[in-house]
């Protein structure tokens, strides 16, 4: 019964979305406050209905109601409660429902927190948001109904892909979807602004918090996904340039560009039509990601069970949303006008460079991701382009941006002083030279570049803070006062840049200084890797809730005595008839010891793979610092309060 209730709620939500997509637009055009106000109520109503639908599906999963097709296909009564719960979004139908839930949540947030927006503008934003909602609700109800019943119900479910039965992956989709869908708000703001034909500073200021929130979610979601790939897939790597990874990385690159160009649009009215375009592109890339994952055009480890009919539907959605927005852009954007001119060496210039690099990098990833698809269109088969392409194109592209990253924030608006900025960065330059020198001492040129860049960016962020606080040049009381009044956005930006430095250091060190050892071991054998001695003590059969596993005991010896134990597993999930490897990782936060076991061979012994991955944890620590920086920025008073205040001061900005 609750299942039908959920289905009904979803259908009602579609009805509300249709109303919200049409009436408020009409109201805004004709100046009818009642119709404009309607949008806020329907937005809240949609969220409530989506929550009811999501709750109903969740209940079906928790109570293992196998008369529901999606539950029967993706769950199993023996599965632990956590994975029954996360199984709700571990498949195509349920993940769409999660997408809708978050989409309506953002709509409701615009309705609640958007009180400072002009009424007509808010109505238009919500109407565009509802158009997107209509598309996804119709898609779900017509092609991917999560509430469809099966009769007779099977005795038990088919289970969930064991690779997905993991706490890291349980929370990866919600965070990632928060990011994907959060970008829809920036998109709606852009389209609403194009409809009105005006983009002012206040607009840029309104767009930023939503983009920041989405960006924080994307950053955390991508990091969680790569962490999962690192410990669960057992390849010792953390990023594979897999199409699905790229699908989340492209919106991230575009959103990063958008965050930066919106600063220029807000502070200097520069790059306005460009910012609008980026807002459209960022969400379009989210939609493209959804298309790539769900249409079956690309092969991937993460791809959902796919169906060409669904592909056509998403492509249609993509065409309507992006195509429509870009038509509007081609028509209206030329009238937006250009901003205040600026010199190449200036804060705006630096932000523009950042944008050029990020967008080009994004295009490179897009090309690499779609190239196999292109071959497919030419009847040349499905292929994988793979890391050789991406490392050859992406890395050299991003390098100049990394170098400019420390300099940009030190430059003044409109006309900057490059020599002065570089002079003030002497400490960062010294650090970069030391980092690069240390890496060169090990004979690694690439590592020298990477570690040098990391030190340069990280120290650059610290120097920028010190400059703002006049640290070392003003009395302590003055520094303290400045620290208290420094805008949260400045703290956040510095933190985000610091996070990038940490990530760059982690990626560089783990790529250049990794040690790897593959060998067959018999009980009692030992091996040496990166100064550690590791002894294989044997393997035992263990029984989990819905799997059985071989668990090996590998002792890390210090002075001949066991100091710690690694216990990697090779699991067999009997319901799904699938093997998984569970890596054992021992981390010091400066390096990871990583062990995976393979099959047992009576003669040769058991295959054991050992890795020593220096600084690998920094990749995820850095990502957390970046996301935290975004949250700190988000708490800036200016973003919350000043937008409406500014509007009152300058009613004639347009």
The rounded distance, in Å, linking the Cα atoms of 542 and 105 is 43
CB of 623 to other proteins, least distance (A): 23
**100, 50 contact by CB (below 8 A):** yes
Token representation of residue 648: 């009152």
CB of 544 to other proteins, least distance (A): 20
Coil, helix or strand for 151? coil
Coil, helix or strand for 569? strand
Nearer to other proteins by C-beta: 177 or 291? 291
Token representation of residue 506: 């982690």
Coil, helix or strand for 495? helix
Rounded to the nearest 10 degrees, the angle between the axes of helix 488-512 and helix 387-407 is 140
Nearer to other proteins by C-beta: 316 or 564? 316
Number of other CB atoms surrounding residue 615 within 10 Å: 25
CB of 373 to other proteins, least distance (A): 4
Q: Is 591 exposed, middle or buried (0-12, 13-18, 19+ CB in 10 A)?
A: buried
Nearer to other proteins by C-beta: 210 or 241? 241
CB of 311 to other proteins, least distance (A): 5
The rounded distance, in Å, linking the Cα atoms of 278 and 41 is 29
Residue in 6, 114, 15 with CA at minimum distance from that of residue 54: 6
Nearer to other proteins by C-beta: 226 or 273? 273
The rounded distance, in Å, linking the Cα atoms of 309 and 248 is 23
CB of 518 to other proteins, least distance (A): 5
Nearer to other proteins by C-beta: 375 or 404? 375
CB of 310 to other proteins, least distance (A): 10
Place of tokens 């109303």: 19
CB of 470 to other proteins, least distance (A): 44
CB of 333 to other proteins, least distance (A): 5
Nearer to other proteins by C-beta: 4 or 516? 516
The rounded distance, in Å, linking the Cα atoms of 174 and 54 is 13
CB of 359 to other proteins, least distance (A): 11
Token representation of residue 50: 């989506």
The rounded distance, in Å, linking the Cα atoms of 442 and 440 is 5
Q: What radius of gyration do the chain's Cα atoms show? A: 26
Which helix H or strand E contains 485, and what residues bound it?
A: helix 476-485
Number of other CB atoms surrounding residue 379 within 10 Å: 6
Token representation of residue 95: 């993940």
Q: What is the DSSP string of 174-189?
A: HHHHHHHHHHHHHHHH
Number of other CB atoms surrounding residue 133 within 10 Å: 28
DSSP letter, residue 411: S
The rounded distance, in Å, linking the Cα atoms of 571 and 544 is 9
The rounded distance, in Å, linking the Cα atoms of 241 and 219 is 16
Nearer to other proteins by C-beta: 240 or 532? 240
**218, 255 contact by CB (below 8 A):** yes
Nearer to other proteins by C-beta: 316 or 590? 316
Nearer to other proteins by C-beta: 5 or 363? 363
CB of 329 to other proteins, least distance (A): 6
Binding stretches for other proteins (CB under 8 A):
234-236, 240-243, 273, 277, 280-281, 284, 291, 295-297, 299-301, 308, 311-312, 315, 318-319, 322-323, 326-327, 329-330, 333-334, 370, 372-377, 379-388, 516, 518, 581, 596, 598-599, 607, 609
CB of 380 to other proteins, least distance (A): 6
Torsion of CA 58, 74, 78, 82, to 10 degrees: -40
Nearer to other proteins by C-beta: 19 or 328? 328
Token representation of residue 96: 């769409």
Nearer to other proteins by C-beta: 269 or 376? 376
CB of 364 to other proteins, least distance (A): 15
- Beta-bridge mates of residue 579: 572
Nearer to other proteins by C-beta: 64 or 515? 515
Coil, helix or strand for 172? helix
The rounded distance, in Å, linking the Cα atoms of 230 and 234 is 6
Nearer to other proteins by C-beta: 268 or 332? 332
CB of 374 to other proteins, least distance (A): 6
For 146, phi then psi, to 5°, come to -75, -10
Place of tokens 């999560």: 146
DSSP letter, residue 410: G
CB of 366 to other proteins, least distance (A): 8
Nearer to other proteins by C-beta: 336 or 493? 336
The rounded distance, in Å, linking the Cα atoms of 92 and 144 is 8
């Amino acid at each position: 019964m609750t299942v039908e209730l959920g289905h009904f709620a979803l259908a009602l939500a579609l009805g509300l979305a249709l109303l919200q997509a049409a009436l408020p637009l009409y109201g805004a055009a004709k100046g009818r406050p009642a119709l404009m106000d309607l949008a806020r109520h329907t937005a809240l109503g949609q969220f409530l209905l989506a929550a009811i639908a999501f709750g109903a599906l969740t209940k079906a999963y928790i109570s293992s109601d196998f008369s529901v097709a999606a539950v029967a296909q993706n769950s199993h009564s023996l599965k632990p409660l956590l994975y029954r719960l996360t199984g709700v979004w571990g498949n195509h139908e349920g993940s769409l429902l999660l997408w809708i839930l978050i989409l309506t949540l953002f709509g409701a947030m615009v309705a609640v927190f958007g009180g400072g927006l002009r009424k007509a503008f808010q109505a238009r934003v919500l109407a565009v948001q509802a158009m997107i909602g209509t598309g996804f609700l119709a898609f779900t109800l017509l092609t991917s109904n999560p509430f469809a019943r099966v009769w007779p119900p099977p005795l038990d479910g088919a289970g969930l892909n064991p690779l997905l039965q993991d706490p890291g992956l349980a929370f990866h989709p919600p965070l990632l979807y928060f990011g994907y869908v959060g970008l829809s708000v920036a998109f709606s703001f852009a389209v609403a602004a194009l409809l009105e034909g005006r983009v002012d500073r206040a607009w840029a200021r309104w767009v930023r918090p939503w983009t920041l929130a989405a960006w924080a979610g994307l950053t955390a979601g991508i990091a969680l996904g790569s962490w999962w790939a690192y410990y669960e897939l057992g390849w010792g790597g953390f990023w594979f340039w897999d199409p699905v990874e790229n699908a989340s990385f492209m919106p991230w690159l575009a959103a990063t560009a958008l965050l930066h160009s919106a600063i220029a649009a807000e502070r200097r009215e520069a790059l306005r039509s460009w910012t609008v375009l980026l807002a459209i592109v960022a969400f379009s890339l989210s939609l493209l990601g959804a298309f790539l994952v769900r249409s079956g055009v690309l092969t991937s480890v993460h791809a959902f069970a796919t169906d060409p009919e669904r592909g056509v539907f998403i492509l249609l959605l993509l065409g309507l949303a992006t195509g429509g927005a870009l038509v509007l852009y081609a028509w209206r954007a030329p009238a937006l006008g250009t901003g205040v001119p600026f010199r190449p060496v200036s804060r705006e210039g630096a932000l523009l460079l950042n944008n050029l690099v990020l967008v080009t990098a994004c295009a490179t990833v897009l090309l690499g991701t779609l190239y196999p698809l292109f071959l497919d269109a030419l009847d040349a088969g499905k292929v994988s382009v793979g890391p050789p392409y991406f490392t050859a194109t992406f890395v050299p592209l991003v390098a100049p941006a990394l170098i400019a990253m420390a300099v940009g924030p030190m430059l003044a608006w409109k006309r900057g002083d490059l020599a002065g900025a570089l002079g003030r960065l002497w400490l960062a330059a010294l650090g970069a030279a030391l980092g690069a020198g240390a890496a060169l001492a090990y004979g690694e040129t690439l590592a020298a570049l990477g570690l040098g860049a990391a030190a340069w960016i990280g120290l650059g962020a610290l120097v920028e803070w010190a400059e703002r606080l006049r640290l070392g040049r003003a009395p302590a009381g003055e520094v303290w006062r400045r620290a208290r009044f420094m805008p949260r956005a400045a703290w956040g930006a510095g933190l985000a840049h610091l996070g990038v430095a940490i990530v760059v250091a982690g990626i560089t060190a783990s790529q250049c200084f990794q040690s790897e050892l593959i060998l067959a071991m018999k009980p009692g054998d030992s091996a040496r890797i990166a100064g550690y001695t590791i002894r294989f003590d044997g393997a035992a059969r263990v029984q989990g809730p819905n799997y059985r596993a071989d668990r090996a005991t590998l002792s890390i010896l210090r002075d001949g005595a066991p100091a710690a134990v690694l216990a990697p597993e090779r699991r067999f999930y009997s319901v799904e008839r699938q093997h998984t490897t569970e890596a054992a990782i021992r981390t010091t936060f400066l390096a990871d010891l990583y062990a995976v076991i393979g099959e047992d061979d009576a003669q040769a012994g058991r295959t054991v793979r050992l890795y020593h991955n220096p600084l690998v944890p920094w990749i995820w620590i850095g990502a957390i610092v970046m996301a935290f920086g975004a949250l700190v920025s988000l708490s800036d008073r200016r973003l919350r309060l000043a937008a409406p205040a500014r509007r009152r001061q300058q009613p004639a900005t347009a």
